[in-house]
Amino acid sequence: MLGNASEWVSDQLVVRGGNFLTNAEDLAGTHAEAEDQSIWNANYPQLPKSIWWYKDANYVGFRVVCEAK
């Protein structure tokens, strides 16, 4: 599952797992990237910039987990 899309994790505002832009040697479940508005919204034209929209972070996703009872 590594290398497809980085995933939001709930412990902090970070994404983990690496993505298609991550170097092969950095692909691991321990790879983390902190949220960075200045990078992730660099080309977002709206002012003020939205805190919910990351125009330049199209490699970030999320995974839904359903636990069986």
Domain boundaries, the chain: 1-69
In this predicted structure, what is the pLDDT of residue 32?
Answer: 78
Query: Which residues, 6 or more positions from 59, have their beta carbon under 8 angstroms from its beta carbon?
Result: 5, 6, 19, 20, 21
Q: Looking at residue 10, what is its pLDDT?
A: 66
Contacts 24+ apart (CB under 8 A), 6-15: 6/33, 6/59, 6/60, 6/61, 7/60, 7/61, 7/62, 7/63, 8/60, 8/61, 8/62, 15/60
The answer to whether 51 and 34 are in contact (CB under 8 A) is no
5-56 pLDDT per residue, tens: 777 676 667 778 778 888 887 777 677 777 777 777 788 888 887 777 777 7
pLDDT category of residue 58 using cuts at 50, 70 and 90: confident
